[in-house]
Amino acid sequence: MTTSDADPARILVVDDTPTNVSVLLEVLSGRGYKVLVARDGGSALEQAQYARPDLILLDVMMPGMDGFETCRRLKADPGTGGIPVIFMTALGEIEDKVRGFEAGAADYVVKPFQHEEVLARVRTHLTLRALQQRLANVNRELEQAVAERTGELRAALRELETLKNRLQNENSYLRQEISEQADHGQIVGRSPAIREVMNKVDVVAPTGTTVLIRGETGTGKELIARALHECSPRRDRPMVKLNCAAISAGLVESELFGHVKGAFTGASDRRVGRFELADRGTIFLDEVSELPLDTQTKLLRVLQEGEFEPVGSSRTVAVDVRVIAATNRDLHADVASGRFRADLYYRLSVFPIEVPPLRARPEDIPDLARHFLERFARRLGKSIRDIDAASLARLSAYDWPGNIRDLQNTIERAAILTRGELLYVDGDLGPAPPSCFAIANAAAPGTAATPAPGPAPIPTRASTAADTLTLQEIERRHFIEVLRRTRGVIEGPNGAARLLDLKPSTARFRIRKLGITKIDYLAD
């Protein structure tokens, strides 16, 4: 029997009796086996180590080292321990057979030899040996395959973890986007000023050019940014937003570029930044003038090279992002004062768009007011069909220092308080507390208005002081009064943001801009 046609099985015969060796050599060679011979235990160990036979026929009784000791040494050697050993013995004692198996033998044959018995046992153990080797090879291949697959799975898990983090961040961002979507409608207006803006949007939107939107607070710069995105080839990818003024200087870089786990205290997981979320889409950087100088440097690199490193990582991330920035500040003055990098300014203002203030487009006020009224009436479940003509005339005549957002807030407050089909606005306009608005209750002007339920009105300044106070000072005093009422609490149902009808982030931004500190509202 052979292990293969080209490689006959090798059998080592260990016996000190020439007659036994001659018989076994004839029988085994006649069946195609390659036979090796050793006369004693020492020679057997050397040949087994050198030739590595497939099977050993080992005599028990030999001078010097007997078969039991030879077998023990063969089995103790890692190089020969796996070779099956068949004892050859003339002894029939059970004790000797047990000793042979304890030494590591796989089987035994009794002298005088029965040729067919010897051949049958040899065939059986060679077959077992071949199967064991095949199984060992299969196991090695499986272990290698498992190791390779494990490596692939680990890499896949890392990718899944990255994807999970990205999806979680996208999901969080989209929830924020959805929650804010109600605050932004389509661009309303037919004035020459707004038509000129929209003409510029039509021209630049299909390109990948960076756009800088300039305009006063509340003029609708974000709506222009969204129009640029929706009219661009990137419309099927997200437009990711970041209000640079609403994020602390220490966190804005992480918000923009992300961070790795352990990058700083509190960074318990990897975070995907806004630029990575906006890949192949658009990123809108509102209040870009508020970025710290070191972050401005990294933003410039993204604009120039399209790549960045997350905070705490040396891995470079390449992105394809269109940047739209907005500001209500004079960036020329900021560049001159060193607050804003000149090279970044020129990269951002490749195509500037100036959004006009509402006072420059008074003919759009009626359409805007009715647009907001329709939205808030639907949201509040009220049947307010129009705005009283006299009230609409007052709205159109006002200069709206807070621009569209100011008008929107005025209409929303009025819609909340009104109970009839027409909305009436009386008293001061603009960012004043709710007590400055008297909304008619019934069907016609002149009828008594029913006070709306809600918190007690916030005390306001005397009208005689209005002539000597600037608008910013009026706003500052109003914010301080609200903060006094809430004891400095900004968020929550009884917080200053709710009373001011602002988002908490916007309220905090305005508080900082107005220079209000705890001393101002907690002094008493």
Model confidence pLDDT, tens digit, residues 420-459: 899 988 656 755 443 333 323 333 333 333 333 333 333 3
> How confident is the model at residue 453, as a pLDDT?
34
Domain shared by 242 and 298, yes or no: yes
Domain shared by 196 and 323, yes or no: yes
Does a structural domain hold residue 241?
yes
Domain shared by 348 and 361, yes or no: no
Which range marks the domain in which residue 34 is found? 2-134
Does a structural domain hold residue 468?
yes
Does a structural domain hold residue 169?
no
Domain shared by 91 and 13, yes or no: yes
Domain shared by 201 and 293, yes or no: yes
pTM above 0.85, yes or no: no
Does a structural domain hold residue 15?
yes
Domain shared by 192 and 336, yes or no: yes
Domain shared by 246 and 347, yes or no: yes
Q: Could you tell me the CATH number of the domain that includes residue 81?
A: 3.40.50.2300
> How confident is the model at residue 196, as a pLDDT?
94
**Planar angle of CA 55, 29, 76, nearest 5 degrees:** 15
**CB atoms < 10 A from the CB of 190, how many?**
10
Does a structural domain hold residue 165?
no
Does a structural domain hold residue 168?
no
Domain shared by 351 and 364, yes or no: no
> How confident is the model at residue 267, as a pLDDT?
66
Tell me which of 297, 329, 356 is where a domain ends: 356
Does a structural domain hold residue 481?
yes
Domain shared by 96 and 204, yes or no: no
Q: Could you tell me the CATH number of the domain that includes residue 364?
A: 1.10.8.60
Does a structural domain hold residue 175?
no
Domain shared by 377 and 429, yes or no: yes
Domain shared by 361 and 348, yes or no: no
Tell me which of 421, 454, 487 is where a domain ends: 454
Tell me which of 311, 340, 356 is where a domain ends: 356
> How confident is the model at residue 475, as a pLDDT?
80
Tracing tokens 């030899």 back to the chain, one arrives at 113
What does each of the 524 residues of the chain score in pLDDT, given as a tens digit? Answer: 445 445 789 999 999 889 888 999 999 999 999 999 999 999 999 999 999 999 999 998 888 899 999 999 999 999 999 899 999 887 666 777 788 888 999 888 888 888 898 999 999 999 998 888 888 888 888 888 888 888 888 888 877 777 766 666 666 555 555 444 433 346 888 899 999 999 999 999 999 899 999 999 999 999 999 999 999 999 989 899 999 988 887 788 888 998 877 667 666 677 888 999 999 999 999 999 999 999 999 999 999 999 998 888 888 899 999 999 999 999 999 999 999 999 999 999 999 999 999 999 999 999 999 999 998 888 888 899 999 988 899 999 899 999 999 999 899 888 888 888 999 886 567 554 433 333 233 333 333 333 333 333 333 333 333 345 566 777 888 888 889 888 888 888 888 888 888 888 888 888 988 888 887 787 54
CB under 8 Å, gap of 24 or more: what pairs does 188-194 form? 188/364, 188/367, 188/368, 188/371, 189/361, 189/364, 189/367, 189/368, 190/363, 190/364, 190/367, 191/361, 191/363, 191/364, 193/356, 193/360, 193/361, 194/356, 194/361, 194/364
Instruction: Output the average pLDDT for the chain.
Output: 82
Domain tally, the chain: 4
Q: Are 254 and 292 in contact (CB under 8 A)?
A: no
Domain shared by 444 and 495, yes or no: no
Q: Could you tell me the CATH number of the domain that includes residue 348?
A: 3.40.50.300
> How confident is the model at residue 168, as a pLDDT?
65
